Structure 1
Amino acid sequence: MNLYLIRHGNTYWNTLGKIQGSRDIVLDDKGIEEAMILRNYIKNLSIDIFVSSPLQRAICTTKILNVDNLPLIIENSLSELNFGAWEGMIWNDVKVKYETYISQNTSHGYTNPPNGDTYDDAYTRISNATKKIIDMPHHNVAIITHRAVIRFMLGHLLNENLENINTFELPNTCIVKLTNNDNPQHWSFESLIL
């Protein structure tokens, strides 16, 4: 099985550097263009099925990529993490305003945001969604979701600490390819396509 973990296209909030989290922000013109460029690459991957986060930025990206009208599953558990009080803020402002909070509430490379998803909740939700996907009877699965979700999926499948995974730059419409060579217990990172 091959998993193609794809980050959604650009949004206006991405351009501004704002934390979107669970907010349902749509693609901007740049994001639509990015998805259309990616579509030319995707059509050569023999995708069997698309699985998408329910947020509009992921669904719109998926619809642009899915030109052959392949099966599509909307998986609620692939929604971006809820970053609580930080949503709508810029990361640098969060680091300044919440410096003490961050130093006291970070573990596993993740800070539990005030009124947002905890590490345990996010890990459980995303791990369960990942298990559900890898149990599908498909060979090439395209998963369109969000940066934090992709990082949690990588941590789960590669048995890697989130602190190490957080060093991966995952720009909009990048693809992370994982393969298991028909061994669902052993996943390997094959490539990062920007």
Structure 2
Amino acid sequence: MSNSEAKLHLSLEEGVFEISGSELFVSQQIENFKDIILEALQSKNKPSQDLPRHNDDFVPPPPAEPLAPGEKSEHGFDNKSFPRVLHIEDKDVKIIKRMPGTNNAKKSVNTALAYLWGKRSVGVEGVSFQEIRDLCEQQGCLDSKNFSATLQGAREYLIIDGKKGSSSKTCKLTLPGVERAEELLEDLNGE
């Protein structure tokens, strides 16, 4: 695939879902959101049995209530917290447990997953690469020579934007990364 710009625009009657960026980025995001997109398209084509068949009789559904901790949204995402693993205050996230792993590479990836999940839960999508590097050093799992390659190798879970060697590199979770982070955090929170 080339690095030319690509764009996906999905409307579903102007609910819209738009992704733009390099072809590789857009392809990765389509793959990450594939199940949700297909489900939305399939449900759009099914006639609803709950709604009246005539537009004159249509009554909009009531607005959604905020989710309680542990409750799933209609899209399957949880409103979770993991107080035994993450201390979250405003937009500040601290990891308060040691991350598991059989080697420093696995511990580094787990540190990134947990921290990025915490940041995402407070509305921060992208985190600087240096911030994650510093956390790995605090966790005692930083392999400074292989750190970048380690995180780049976890591309199923992490999206890293920015040029090689750049101080402005950022890191964020893919949808499988969110799921893996939640599994990890649930396990650690229960210990």
TM-score (norm 1): 0.23
**TM-score, length-normalised on structure 2?**
0.23
